[in-house]
Chain A
Amino acid sequence: MRFTLTLIIFLMSTSVFAQNKANPDLSLNTLFTIRGGSEGNAADAEAANGFALQEAELRLTSNIDTYFRGDVILAVESEDGEYVVEPEEVFIDTLQIPSVTLRLGKFYPYWGRSNQWHTHAQPFIDAPQTREAIFGEEGFNETGLAVSYLLPTPWYFEVVAQAFSAENTAVFGSDTQDDLAGVYFVKNLWDLSDSSTLELDLGYASGKDVLFQSNDVYNAALTYKKKYADARAFIWTAEYTQARKRFVEDEDNPGTYLSNDGLSALSTWLQYQFQKRWWGQLRYEAVSNLDDSSVDDITKSSALVAFVPSEFSAIRLQYDNIDDPSADEAEQRVTLQLNLTMGAHPAHDY
């Protein structure tokens, strides 16, 4: 009896040990902010004054078997004053097809420079307007399939074809799920020297809006990176996104439709790592109305300084000046963010 009991305990303990070794990598990113702005609490809920849990993001990553790798990212964030848990991304990648990766699930499409960044990995506390002004607060995030192919060229040249049930109402918004949107993306990266690179991203997306009319979105982004031998680094990025005129349903009068003018957004920013643990950054953005030239651009200027004690924590202070011609005065905001990572978080893309 005693032997049997010992054997059972032994088997249970080895099983638990084996399970621990095979567990997915688990990480939690938490973003706390305190904000003071000229709009006070009249500002959008996202930009209200005071303390806030900007987001908590739970991520599980693991190879599923020899053939597939899985990622699950759950985001906890405040929506209209209540915390909700949403599947930000849930997808699998293939591992065994030479030169090709298939990605299937709900994810941020391969698109532009900034679209695949999670909130904690954004260079600024908020997303660039090339993402937010065009695709809304949640960015460009869809359910579908991506096929990426790495071409046999001397430089990095990746071509991605994607198909999604386009549900992003800011851009597409067809009620019919089988109205697939096609998203095409090309990424080029050249090593200019051992310490500097230039990246050019080009994207085109086409889908149906709520009235089943075709809508097109374009993106281009250029990034230059320089890493110095003494831990300093310099990054310059310029990104442009343009969405054509599309129709959306009027929330106040269901069944009737409003025409939204076409928009373009330009974001450009500089990041300078002046010491191993210190960054200084500047950003300028402009959102333009493509269909009415009499409407002035909305412009946003931001400055940020970040102290990064380790790769798992950062304290960032950001100032924004938002000049919207429809408002009486420019809005000003100051935000302090504590950006923390717990657990085994996968490395970010270059």
Chain B
Amino acid sequence: MKILILGLLSAWALNAQAELKVVTTTTTLENLVQEIGQDKVDVSSLTKSNQDPHFVEAKPSYMVKLRQADLLVSVGLDLEVGWIGNVQRGAKNPTLLKGSKGFFAAGDHIEAIDIPEGKLDRAEGDVHPLGNPHFHLDPIKTISVVEALAIKLGELDSANAEFYQRRAADYAKTLKEKMKDWESRITKSQVNNVITYHKSLSYFLRRFDLDVVASIEPKPGIPPTAKHIISLIKLVKQKNVKCILNENYFETTAGERIKGVTQASLQIVPVEVQTDYFDLIESLVTAVENCGKGV
């Protein structure tokens, strides 16, 4: 009987220290929340690391995940515009709607690039009207996101606000230190320019001073034609491009064709976290190094 009472009491005590339930749209955001929140958060991602976050179906099981969540963390900048609204409304959890205290869009806390000017035209492909939403591959911009996330977690869980702030500061410090190593390795690789499939890597390439010669997609969201691939082959030869970075959720046929008739190395790279954020950037840096070595 004593054991039963003790058991019930400890279950109650555990419940009293309930973790914040956080749901993110991507595995990268999941990892960042986990790093800041540690054992004070229960975090899961709606999408998998190899899923293209542009094209996700609003599965009802996502709504089940959000129904009891305290916080929804999204990328923002309209990356999830095609599906997140349905999931938010379907969850019937008003605290997670845009503008409510349980909603966080990382894109609100960084300065975006590639913001289109003038009138938008779908003939230009899937252009993001609010700018390029793949900012998480720039570690410095990720620091801004981590700091804003710590503030948001502290707002929802004031008892641990200082803990979140401390964790974010430590994380930022480690990331800044690691940046020096990554920058030096990319400089040593002697790779100056690359081709990517989509504009997913623009922030990473800009941060590490790598020029984007062209994209395998002729326009965002439009698969390459034979004519476009031929023009890319000419460009790769003309500009002595050593590196094709093909994001892992896009097909690789066009990249393989270009590689087959040029000196460029084809590297299939992750875009979202598979293990942790450091490993994600490490994979990209290693891919550039491999291009330099002609692997």
> Do A194 and B48 have beta carbons less than 8 Å apart?
yes
> Do B94 and A96 have beta carbons less than 8 Å apart?
yes
B180 at the interface (CB under 8 A from A): no
A227: min CB distance to chain B, Å: 8
A14: min CB distance to chain B, Å: 19
Using Cβ atoms and an 8 Å threshold, which residues of chain B touch A347?
58, 82-83, 85-86
From B61, B122, B223, B251, give the contact of A197 (CB < 8 A). B61
Closest residue of chain B to A154 (Cβ to Cβ) is B64
> Do B67 and A152 have beta carbons less than 8 Å apart?
yes
B60 at the interface (CB under 8 A from A): yes
Q: Chain A: interface secondary structure?
A: loop
> Do B63 and A150 have beta carbons less than 8 Å apart?
yes
> Do B221 and A310 have beta carbons less than 8 Å apart?
yes
Closest residue of chain B to A187 (Cβ to Cβ) is B60
> Do B60 and A189 have beta carbons less than 8 Å apart?
yes
> Do A156 and B64 have beta carbons less than 8 Å apart?
yes
**Complex Cα–Cα for A50 and B55 (A):** 36
**Complex Cα–Cα for A154 and B61 (A):** 9
> Do A350 and B92 have beta carbons less than 8 Å apart?
no
B 97-152 contacts with A by CB, 8 A: 97, 99, 122, 126
Using Cβ atoms and an 8 Å threshold, which residues of chain B touch A311?
55, 82
Q: Count residues of B near A (Cβ-Cβ below 8 Å).
A: 30
From A93, A99, A152, give the contact of B89 (CB < 8 A). A93
**Complex Cα–Cα for A227 and B50 (A):** 13
> Do A98 and B48 have beta carbons less than 8 Å apart?
no
> Do A189 and B61 have beta carbons less than 8 Å apart?
yes
Q: Count residues of A near B (Cβ-Cβ below 8 Å).
A: 37
Closest residue of chain A to B61 (Cβ to Cβ) is A191
> Do B97 and A350 have beta carbons less than 8 Å apart?
no
**Complex Cα–Cα for A155 and B64 (A):** 7
A150-B67 in contact given A93-B89, A191-B61, A310-B221 (Cβ < 8 Å): yes
From A100, A197, A231, A346, give the contact of B92 (CB < 8 A). A100
From B57, B63, B90, B222, give the contact of A310 (CB < 8 A). B222
Using Cβ atoms and an 8 Å threshold, which residues of chain A touch B75?
none
Using Cβ atoms and an 8 Å threshold, which residues of chain B touch A227?
57
> Do A150 and B92 have beta carbons less than 8 Å apart?
yes
From B50, B55, B60, B93, give the contact of A350 (CB < 8 A). B60
B59 at the interface (CB under 8 A from A): yes
**Complex Cα–Cα for A154 and B60 (A):** 11
A 315-350 contacts with B by CB, 8 A: 346-347, 349-350
A274: min CB distance to chain B, Å: 14
**Complex Cα–Cα for A190 and B64 (A):** 10
Using Cβ atoms and an 8 Å threshold, which residues of chain B touch A84?
none
A 247-278 contacts with B by CB, 8 A: 276-277
B91 at the interface (CB under 8 A from A): yes
> Do A95 and B86 have beta carbons less than 8 Å apart?
no
A97 at the interface (CB under 8 A from B): yes
**Complex Cα–Cα for A346 and B99 (A):** 19
**Complex Cα–Cα for A127 and B222 (A):** 30
B49: min CB distance to chain A, Å: 11
> Do A98 and B82 have beta carbons less than 8 Å apart?
no
Closest residue of chain A to B55 (Cβ to Cβ) is A311
**Complex Cα–Cα for A202 and B67 (A):** 23
From B50, B60, B85, B126, give the contact of A156 (CB < 8 A). B60
Q: Point out residues on B near A: beta carbons under 8 Å.
A: 48, 50, 55, 57-61, 63-64, 67-68, 82-83, 85-86, 89-94, 97, 99, 122, 126, 221-223, 251
Contacts A/B (CB < 8 Å), 29 sampled: A69-B89, A95-B89, A97-B92, A98-B94, A99-B67, A99-B92, A150-B91, A150-B92, A152-B67, A152-B68, A155-B61, A155-B64, A156-B63, A189-B59, A189-B61, A190-B61, A197-B59, A197-B60, A229-B50, A231-B251, A276-B251, A310-B221, A311-B55, A346-B85, A346-B86, A347-B58, A347-B83, A347-B85, A350-B86
Q: Point out residues on A near B: beta carbons under 8 Å.
A: 66, 69, 93, 95-101, 150, 152-156, 158, 187, 189-191, 194, 197, 199, 227, 229-231, 276-277, 310-312, 346-347, 349-350
Knowing that A99-B93, A101-B92 touch, tell me 11 more A-B residue pairs with CB under 8 angstroms: A69-B89, A97-B92, A150-B64, A155-B61, A156-B61, A189-B61, A191-B61, A310-B221, A311-B82, A349-B86, A350-B60
